[in-house]
A = this chain, B = another copy of it.
Amino acid sequence: MRISARNQIKGTVVEVQKGATTSHVRVDIGGGQIVTSSITNEAVDDLGIKAGGKATVVIKASDVMIAVD
């Protein structure tokens, strides 16, 4: 499957923190950058996401903001 989302960055899952319905997944994308994702617990279970696994962070371009100093 290929998806329209313009931003797809490969990395390694470093932490999965499960809440009551929502999990926070942290992915190391290299260069010292950790990306945090908030997804459903159901998705974590369904995809078998766990620390140490390979994963791609996927972000739609319209969800990316730009900041300047």
Copy tally for this chain in the complex stands at: 6
Chain B CB within 10 Å, residue with most, of A2, A23, A65: A65
Q: Nearest 8 A-B pairs (CB), nearest first?
A: A19-B21, A19-B20, A37-B64, A63-B63, A4-B43, A6-B36, A31-B31, A38-B61
- The answer on a CB contact under 8 Å between A67 and B22 is no
Closest-by-CB residue of B relative to A23 is B21
Chain B hits for A49, CB < 8 A = 4, 66, 68
Does A2 contact B35, Cβ atoms closer than 8 Å? no
| Interchain CB contact under 8 A, B66 and A47 | yes
**CB nearest neighbor in B for A35:** B7
Interfacial chain B residues near A59, Cβ < 8 Å: 35, 59, 63-65
